[in-house]
Amino acid sequence: NAGVTQTPKFQVLKTGQSMTLQCAQDMNHEYMSWYRQDPGMGLRLIHYSVGAGITDQGEVPNGYNVSRSTTEDFPLRLLSAAPSQTSVYFCASSYTGGEDGNEQFFGPGTRLTVL
Amino acid sequence: AQSVAQPEDQVNVAEGNPLTVKCTYSVSGNPYLFWYVQYPNRGLQFLLKYITGDNLVKGSYGFEAEFNKSQTSFHLKKPSALVSDSALYFCAVRDVGFQKLVFGTGTRLLVSP
């Protein structure tokens, strides 16, 4: 299993440009989520999905869109990039069934710089 | 709403000494509690979790954590630190029955030789 994969690893955008961060998992996990990591602020939840066709907002959703057309993929779209979106972005997934706590598995991250 | 506090930005410890990284939490119901570790330029790796049962949870790389319901704490511990344990550690919590995971701000652990 490849686990959770993210592309690209690095990206530089100009203000106003749009782009999509890709995330895929091959563990058949129902739950997928996007976080951003900023110094001193930990990880903050942007959007999440509990299954194909179902998405919801996290703590910091403004400026980001998501969709979940398949179980495997959960892309994150920046419609008009702003310098405040400079960050490291992590995708994560987990199983939702059972009672074992369902720890999340994280991808390697995408480092985004908006100039 | 769920929340997690990691009161120390950084913990310094000498190799071979015991280490503790502190975490306190707040949830409305029963908590699922997690510790993750992040090495430089890497994603987060799961270390251990508390679901129910024994308050002392053992995880990867010799780490353990103690759940204390009365103090709403879940401190990470290791009896003998290694230089290779130097990394960023995150505590996280979610309410039972919900999927959203809330993270603390992280604690940088520096283990000196």
Question: Which residue among B49, B105, B106 sits closest to A103, beta carbon to beta carbon?
Answer: B49
Please indicate if any CB of chain A lies within 8 Å of the CB of B5: no
- What is the pLDDT, as a whole number, of residue B97? 66
pLDDT in tens, B8-19: 999 999 999 999
Mutate to test the interface with A, among B100, B107, B108 (most CBs of A within 10 A): B100
Considering only residues A110 and A39, tell me which one the structure prediction assigns the higher pLDDT: A110
Burial of residue A62 (number of CB atoms within 10 Å: 0-12, 13-18, 19+): exposed
Is A90 within 8 Å of B44 when comparing Cβ atoms?
Answer: yes
User: How far apart are alpha carbons B42 and B28 in whole angstroms?
Assistant: 32
What value does the mean pLDDT of chain B take?
A: 92
Q: Pick A107's closest partner by Cβ from B43, B103, B104.
A: B43
Instruction: Tell whether omega for the bond before B40 is within 30 degrees of 0, i.e. cis.
Output: no
3-state secondary structure of B85: helix
Task: Compute the nearest-CA separation of A95 from chain B (Å).
Answer: 10
Q: So what's the pLDDT on residue B79?
A: 97
CB A42 to CB B34 under 8 A? Answer: no
Rounded CA-CA distance B77/A71 in Å is 37
Residue B62's pLDDT is what?
A: 95
B95 pLDDT exceeds 80? no
Contact B88, A39 (CB under 8 A): no
Q: Which of these ranges, A39-53, A62-76, A77-91, B73-87, has the smallest mean pLDDT?
A: A39-53
Q: pLDDT by residue (tens digit) across B65-88?
A: 999 999 999 999 999 999 999 999
Of A58, A100, A106, the CB nearest to B51: A100
Judged against a pLDDT cut of 90, whether residue A90 lies above it is answered with: yes
For residues A60-82, give the mean pLDDT. Answer: 96
The pLDDT, as a whole number, for residue A98 is 60
Question: Of the candidates A102, A107, A90, A25, which has an alpha carbon nearest to the alpha carbon of residue B98?
Answer: A102
> For residue B70, what are the contacts with CB-CB under 8 A and spacing of at least 6?
none
β-strand partners of B49: B34
Torsion of CA A27, A21, A33, A90, to 10 degrees: 90
Substitution target from A10, A23, A31, A37 for chain B, most B beta carbons within 10 A: A37
Residue A99: which pLDDT band, with cuts at 50, 70 and 90?
low
The residues near B96 (Cβ < 8 Å, ≥ 6 apart) are B29, B30, B31, B32
Percent of chain A with pLDDT over 70: 96
Enumerate the residues of chain A whose CB falls inside 8 A of the CB of residue B90.
Answer: 42-43
Interface contacts A/B by beta carbons within 8 Å: 55
Cβ(A50)–Cβ(A34) under 8 Å?
no
| CA dist., res. B4 & res. B106, Å (int) | 10
Binning pLDDT at 50, 70 and 90, where does residue B2 land?
Answer: confident
Banded pLDDT at A85 (limits 50, 70, 90): very high
